[in-house]
Amino acid sequence: MAIALLALAFAGTLALAVSIVFGYEVAAHVTTLKAHFLLSLLSTMLLVMAHSFIMFFLIATGVEMKDMERDRGWGDSFRRRIIRLKSEAFPAMTFALLLVLANFIMGAAAHTRAVPARVHEGLAWLTLLVCGYALQREWRVLGENNRLIAEAALRQEDTPGRFRG
């Protein structure tokens, strides 16, 4: 699951980068506006889905592992580690989500000349940088989350006579 979520985030970030490149062609060739818009829409959709799904995945696995830990009397080491992981990734993912949405909206404002195109351009580059940073964080956190899941599975196998519901 983590690999699919990371692939989704990577595809969205790549689509955003290609959309930025097409954005530079809009001034010279108005026909590229359609491609720029469609790529922007695709990247916005993919990035919102990816970052949101990763957040929900981390929340769901955290709840499951917390319940497993509580039911088996293992203490709270998994809960503390999962909270630390979430605190490392959630701020970057949230900021990336906000920037992706703001950039898409700002693109419409730049198209209607309500704001200068340079504002949209600067926001697009900032969005790409933050999405790249969030992707790096997600890569690390999801990898660590998978290691926690594997550790819990091993611990569950090593606990004889306990409920394995």
List, in order, residues 6 or more apart from 30 with CB less than 8 Å away.
Answer: none
Q: How far apart are CA 103 and CA 101, in angstroms?
A: 5
C-alpha 84, offset from chain centre: 17
- What confidence tier does 153 reach under pLDDT thresholds 50, 70, 90? confident
Residue 20 pLDDT more than 90? yes
Q: Hey, what are 122's tokens?
A: 């600067």
d(C-alpha 48, C-alpha 102), whole Å: 12
- What is the model's pLDDT at position 56? 95
Which tops the pLDDT comparison, 139 or 83? Answer: 139
**pLDDT confidence of residue 62:** 87
pLDDT bin (cut points 50, 70, 90) of residue 72 is: confident
pLDDT for the residue numbered 162 = 52
Q: What is the pLDDT of residue 94?
A: 96
Q: What is the pTM for the complete model shown?
A: 0.85
pLDDT tens track for 83-130: 898 999 999 999 999 999 999 999 999 989 999 999 999 999 999 999
Residue 74: predicted pLDDT? 80
Distances (CA, A) of 106 to 31, 135, 149: 20, 23, 40
Q: Higher model confidence: residue 9 or residue 32?
A: 9
